[in-house]
Structure 1
């Protein structure tokens, strides 16, 4: 955790500021278009290769101080990996180093009309945008917005991996498998 904080502080203070510009978030109501514009910046922000560009984008996200990040990986129960905005940003900076390319689905984001906007992304892994690794995963990101367009929480629903060496991987339903094992164990006792 200390490394993550030192890396984030160093990068944010030493790297040049990028030209990323998100919509103003001090409006009294948060429209679907504004929420979608914020989310649609994620692929460009994470794909940026100029020094400090991704860090500047992540720093510009309108997270409230208590904004948490919870991940659901391959159908398992949620794991809160970041309890506040600072650790959410630091986590994003850290994992971004393992991404080669982030590709949004079409459309890039879908707004549900209740302050929640979702983005589906395919992520090719690689080190520092230069060394490709043969693993791809899928991330469904759900951003929960407040009325002023600040982000209250982020939920990631991940399927890891979706392909290895370009070959699609069909993940088993982990929850169903655990339930089946539990019922078999109960039947044996």
Structure 2
């Protein structure tokens, strides 16, 4: 999840051993090393950031990303797949998309299908991405990602996104 150093003391200890106070600081350092020591061009996907953090990564990466996932508020309600996760709130994700635009950060985002959103939710999310790109010209890629249950997780027995839903969303 976002900012593991805030939640787990072990993560903060590991970062401090590497000379960093945050995951974002460590990521910026590693991205700078990749830029200076290789022919690779870093793309970062560190989660929800503030403006200073996003700008610091802009200096060392060619692009950044964060999935919008969904604009369905029901997914963050009790019992939903994003319940209790403030970084998954639709408003939080939209602010990140807009912040990237204001900072002129080339950005990858997209929707996650099959968590309980409606087709109308998917259309609203795709239109929100389009509107942000029309304002700022920063969206370089839109991912349409189907949910696939993973073993040993709370959602391991949930239904996967159907092929029909995926094809519908891609055609949209």
**Per chain length, whose mean CA-contact separation is higher, i.e. which structure has more relative contact order (CA < 8 Å, sep 6+)?**
1
- Higher relative strand content: 1
Length-normalised TM-score, structure 1: 0.27
- Higher relative helix content: 2
CA radius of gyration, larger in: 1
Length-normalised TM-score, structure 2: 0.29
